[in-house]
Amino acid sequence: MDKNRIEELLETVRINELLEKKEAANAKKPSNIVLWCLAVFGAIAAVATIAYLVFNYMMPEYEDDYDYDDDDFDDFDDDDFVDLDLEK
């Protein structure tokens, strides 16, 4: 074999190795994209949670303004209702 031919083969092997390394690096990119998407989603969720908690802390609760213990219905007597005796 010719010395030039051997050098060409070695150079081709080196180029193939470099291409394989580059392809391996490109194969990792989808996982990076997924990782970035999850990181952005997590950041948005964290900001939304903090905003919700701050909102609940800052807003006053108006439950004390309403009197749920009104027993208006207990004030009625049986005499207040009309007795419709339809069997007569």
What separation, in Å, do the N-terminal and C-terminal C-alpha atoms of the chain show? 127
Share of the chain above pLDDT 70, in %: 60
* Tens of pLDDT, residues 6-39: 888 888 888 888 778 777 766 666 678 889 999 9
Note the pLDDT of residue 61: 73
Q: Is the pTM of this model over 0.75?
A: no
Minimum mean pLDDT range among 10-24, 44-58, 62-76: 62-76
Per-domain residue ranges of the chain: 3-59
Helices (H) and strands (E) in the chain, counts: 2, 0
Reduce the DSSP state of residue 85 to 3 states and report it. Answer: coil
Note the pLDDT of residue 41: 97
Mean pLDDT computed over 46-66: 85
Is the confidence at residue 43, as pLDDT, over 80? yes
Mean pLDDT computed over 56-63: 79
